[in-house]
Amino acid sequence: EAGVAQSPRYKIIEKRQSVAFWCNPISGHATLYWYQQILGQGPKLLIQFQNNGVVDDSQLPKDRFSAERLKGVDSTLKIQPAKLEDSAVYLCASSYRDRDRAFFGQGTRLTVV
């Protein structure tokens, strides 16, 4: 079974630039999550999709972050403009349905300089 795919693996940008991350969940998984993990901390949920609808985006900084999940499959997370404090690993995860066992991708490590 193919896992959750994320790209790119690493990204370095200057502050105020924009960046986009891509995630392809496990086939058939209806629920997709984006998490932000700052060094030394546990992952924090940014947004959760159920198919192509948003279930929870209460912790997404909507003035600079946006996410979409077209056709209920792939998803993209965008940051515009980036700030220094956005430096973190961005993890995508999927599950067959919400609250099921979650499978994570390898993450995208973002460095904002």
Partner 1 sequence: KQEVTQIPAALSVPEGENLVLNCSFTDSAIYNLQWFRQDPGKGLTSLLLIQSSQREQTSGRLNASLDKSSGRSTLYIAASQPGDSATYLCAATNTGNQFYFGTGTSLTVIP
CB of 36 to partner 1, least distance (A): 11
Q: Using CB under 8 A, which of 19, 21, 88, 105 touches partner 1? A: 105
Measured between alpha carbons, how far is 83 from 113 in angstroms, rounded to an integer?
Answer: 8
CB of 40 to partner 1, least distance (A): 7
Hey, which residues between 49 and 88 contact partner 1 (CB under 8 A)? 55-56
Measured between alpha carbons, how far is 27 from 34 in angstroms, rounded to an integer?
Answer: 17
CB of 2 to partner 1, least distance (A): 14
CB of 4 to partner 1, least distance (A): 7
Tokens read off for 66: 């946006």
Q: Is 103 in the site for partner 1 (CB under 8 A)?
A: yes
- Local structure of 72: helix, strand or coil: helix
Q: Is 44 in the site for partner 1 (CB under 8 A)?
A: yes
Which bin fits 15, alpha (ψ -120 to 50), beta or left (φ > 0)? Answer: beta
Q: How far is CA 36 from CA 27, 42, 77, 86, in A?
A: 23, 9, 11, 9
Which residues in this chain contact partner 1 in the complex, by CB under 8 A?
Answer: 4, 6, 33, 40-45, 48, 55-56, 91, 93, 98-107, 109
